[in-house]
Amino acid sequence: MKKRDSHYDILFEQVQIGPVKARNRFYQVPHCNGMGYLRPNTLAAMRGVKAEGGWAVVCTEEVEIHANSDNGSAVEGRLWDDGDIPALAKMAEAVHEHGALAGVELVHGGYSNANNYSRIVPIAPSLTSVNSYDPVQARAMTKSDIRDFRRWHRKAALRSKRAGFDLVYVYAGHNLTLLMHFLSRRFNKRNDEYGGSLENRTRLFREVLEETIDAVGDSCAIAVRFAVDELLGPKGITCESEGREVVEMLAEIPDLWDVNISEWENDSATSRFEKEGYQEPYISFVKSLTSKPVVGVGRYTSADNMVSLIQRGVMDMIGAARPSIADPFLPKKIEEGRIDEIRECIGCNICVAGDWLSVPIRCTQNPTMGEEWRRSWHPERIGPKKSDDVVLIVGGGPAGLECALSLGKRGYDVILAEASEVLGGRVSKESQLPGLSEWRRILDYRETMLKKMDTVKIYRSSKLNLRDIIEFSSKDKFGFSHVFLATGARWRRDGIARKHQNPIPGLKKIRVMTPDEVMNGVSPSGRVVIFDDEHYYMGGVIAEKLRLEGLKVILVTPAPDISNWTHHTMEQRRIQSRLLELGVELATQQNLVSVSSNEVELACVFTDRRTRHECETLVLVTERLPNDEIYNALNVRQEELKEAGIKTLQCIGDCFAPGIIAAAVHSGHLAAREFEENSSYEVPFLRERVVV
């Protein structure tokens, strides 16, 4: 094991948090995961791996304290009654097994929840519509309701202690909690002792905090999570005024301050719009107002930046959600002098999408995330090889690189042949698009790790065809017995996707380009129309790139808004705002129905009303076609493959089925994990079942 640089020793100092002590300064703040009350085994295994990886504190996601705060389709934690204790106790036990402290984030969502499951009328400081498009209003709380809320929170704190948690949160952040709603002038219109002045609006926050300390503070640390700035200027709480004043009022009451900004889409902004450390200007004042430990976040992956934050007195513990997902072993790698092996978060928010979709969390960088229990995958360990067979991987994109790395870790001899001089495939190209530079970390991490492996040999500028693969398999050449094809995919030129099952009429009459050509440096000319029927980031980012190059751009989509799927990554609003600011013309709910010389015809998706728009270059962002020609050609030559000593042939990644980068990485990892293993199961992973 390497010895860490003494410069990082400060990160491994113990921190006293009220009655408990953290073994170092690494703090996994609460984060959602799509596991919650429905998948307690999955949750426990995922959190346990974080503790094993060196995080001193490992927290839950939001844990609802009562049926009056029902987060609907989201799969969060619950402590509605004693029956919910065992599921969360399982997580606390998994965290304790590796010497870490377990924290629980208690929450009441107030007007943020429509209570569609419980059908209980939501509550809020004042009468208001719920924070969604549900036709539901939250009723104004009476004094009796306030007493009930305080009682529910106290009971949940006591249940948390019985479940084995070491830290209990009082949560006022993200504009998603009842306590934050009481603090806000926008939502608290009361004229009693809980409304009006900031001191009155802080009253309930103080009461709940003091009552939680009274209930469990003898053995549990009491943490406050508070959004010091809503990024709304004078309309909201700001770090210069009310955010600062709240901290001043309550400074010494909690055992720890976990501070951030609101709303969630700001707190967890993607790397396309915010870089590492972007929250520091908002939260840096807190440490000067309290003697208690302060935790902050900012998608920190640089150990040097972490040290700087501690030395400059910005925070006492390095908070992380997404970096702990991308690399659960980030603390241990710093501790053991393996900083170059950190799997750095790329800030794409695929992890967040899991929560919005109510499925277990996934990660572009870390394909084992969410698979710890159901597939028994560990981020740092993998089963040994089952034979001395040599493996050929054709294609050095995200799937091929991940497959090569994982097979190399298993001990297999691997030959990786990449057609171009540059590794990374789509990642190396897409990371050059506006705002996506940190996506290159997908390549950088794998290339760094592969360079350390004697068992993996990489051949660049090595485009292989069918005959090459068969010929090179011989013992006197490379002697491989297994072939994985990771040759990627290419964007279609015919417009076929969701709205069109047949080619769009008239495409031969106009200059048509694909994202591949734009990324390869081919320049469009004249007025550009982009037709986006894929609905993730590509249409919007291509529009941004071309507009920045000075072209007139109209972005057309059949969806209700631009880059519609990015609602799941919480960047849709920023994407559409950026394009409007740049002067990109947006045409939503419009289908591209035909093309003629220098013109395109659009149709309203509801009325079919037609409009025509000038166009010299049409960029189609629709579907992609797998580059599976070599696979198809080899697959029909089974006898020839057998004679050449090739035992197996398999497509992985976009070559198998085009998808997002996270899916390609997962595909490569899955192929490596399952290689030469028994796969005679009907369902390829464990499921958590409802017991009847």
Tabulate helix, strand, coil % of the chain (nearest 5).
Answer: 35, 20, 45
| Cα–Cα distance measured from residue 437 to residue 579, given in angstroms and rounded to the nearest whole number | 19
| Cα–Cα distance measured from residue 38 to residue 649, given in angstroms and rounded to the nearest whole number | 38
| Cα–Cα distance measured from residue 329 to residue 301, given in angstroms and rounded to the nearest whole number | 12
DSSP 610: E
Q: Which of 66, 174, 181, 669 is catalytic?
A: 174
Side-chain half-sphere CA neighbours of 328 within 13 A: 25
What amino acid occupies position 649?
Answer: L
Which residue in this structure is represented by tokens 């350390």?
Answer: 452
Q: Exposed, middle or buried by CB within 10 Å (0-12, 13-18, 19+), for 477?
A: exposed
Annotated catalytic residue 171: yes
Contact present, 215 and 170 (Cβ < 8 Å) = no
Q: Which of 27, 111, 169, 171 is catalytic?
A: 171
| Cα–Cα distance measured from residue 567 to residue 640, given in angstroms and rounded to the nearest whole number | 49
Annotated catalytic residue 32: yes
Residues 6+ apart with CB under 8 A from 567: 356
Contact present, 240 and 282 (Cβ < 8 Å) = no
User: Within 411-535, where are the H helices?
Assistant: 426-430, 441-451, 466-472, 515-519
Contact present, 95 and 77 (Cβ < 8 Å) = no
Q: Which of 27, 32, 351, 669 is catalytic?
A: 32
| Cα–Cα distance measured from residue 686 to residue 237, given in angstroms and rounded to the nearest whole number | 45
Q: Which of 70, 166, 255, 267 is catalytic?
A: 267
In 3-state terms, what secondary structure has residue 517? helix
| Cα–Cα distance measured from residue 518 to residue 524, given in angstroms and rounded to the nearest whole number | 8
Catalytic residues: 32, 171, 174, 267
